[in-house]
Amino acid sequence: MGFYNPRPESNFIVDKVLKWITDIIVFVAVAVFFVIYLGEETSIVGSSMAPAIDDGQVILIDRMSYEITSPGRFDVIVYKSKTTENQYVIKRIIGLPGETVKIEDSKIYINGEVLEDKYFDGTYESGYAQNEIKVGNNQYFVMGDNRNLSEDSRFEYIGNISEEDIIGKAWLIASPFKEIGFID
């Protein structure tokens, strides 16, 4: 007479497949949560941030980090356009609140000191920043990485960007697939 085993024998393959499916569902749910509640996606139009971010790429925007911390120098931000309604603009923060910015001979001066600029090597127009610009409280001086094709804070009609207009920090290139990666 044998012993009764109340547990049926498990099917190894079914257990592995169910675990795999559960893992995928959890991963997708977490990803959807992050994109919907903590982030946003937008398509890039133009090449003002090339080569870091190119025309036609889709990026993810972190909308939450600036609820906790303030934007920092060299952060790539997305903000509401001052010139086109319902359009986002992407640029890199150069000047912080309370600083002065001046551009002379393609060198950026922050409070009179040369800023080491690893995002562009070449010559470009100083624009309005040929004269010292004061960055106000809750404002940021921004520039595109492709300085010769960027409309940014160097131009009076753009000027400094208000913190309230910042949507969030650009953090990930999401498309095309072969270019997926974090934004520096």
Question: Residues near 66 by Cβ (< 8 Å), separated by ≥ 6?
Answer: 163, 166, 168, 169
Q: How far apart are CA 115 and CA 146, in angstroms?
A: 17
List b or e across 52-91, with b for residues whose CB sees 16 or more CB atoms inside 10 angstroms: bbeeebebbbbbeebeeeebeeebbbbbbeeeeeeebbbb
* Segment 65-68 long-range contacts (CB within 8 Å, at least 24 positions apart): 65/168, 65/169, 66/163, 66/166, 66/168, 66/169
Active site residues: 48, 91
Q: How many CA atoms lie within 13 A of 94 on its CB side?
A: 33
